[in-house]
Amino acid sequence: MMDNNAGVSTEMPKYKSHKEVWALKIKSIKRDVDIAIKEKRETDGSAMITPEDKGYAPFKVDHDFIRRMKNTDEDLGYYVVYKDGYKSWSPTKAFEEGYTKI
């Protein structure tokens, strides 16, 4: 893969992931902004995520997490937690191509 936007003319180094992460596939997201509009109040930008996996209750994520999500109208993706505690979002295809459940 070449990154023409960065002016790179040779292939960038390729890496293979070997990290272990904790993850839940996202079934639905209820954004606080939608509730705040109905309740006529300010929003904190958070959201409630409902996992697709059985046995896990909905949980709240902050504005920073929501801001990092992309294309969520089409793909809710995965909520991912790394060993150091960093919480991230991953698109479904990228996650499932890069990780296998252990």
Convert the pLDDT of each residue in 6-50 to its tens digit: 666 788 888 888 889 999 999 999 999 989 998 999 999 999 999
d(CA 17, CA 95): 11
- Asked whether the predicted pLDDT for residue 78 surpasses 90, the reply is yes
Per the confidence metrics, is the pTM higher than 0.85? no
The predicted pLDDT at position 5 comes to: 61
The predicted pLDDT at position 11 comes to: 87
The predicted pLDDT at position 56 comes to: 97
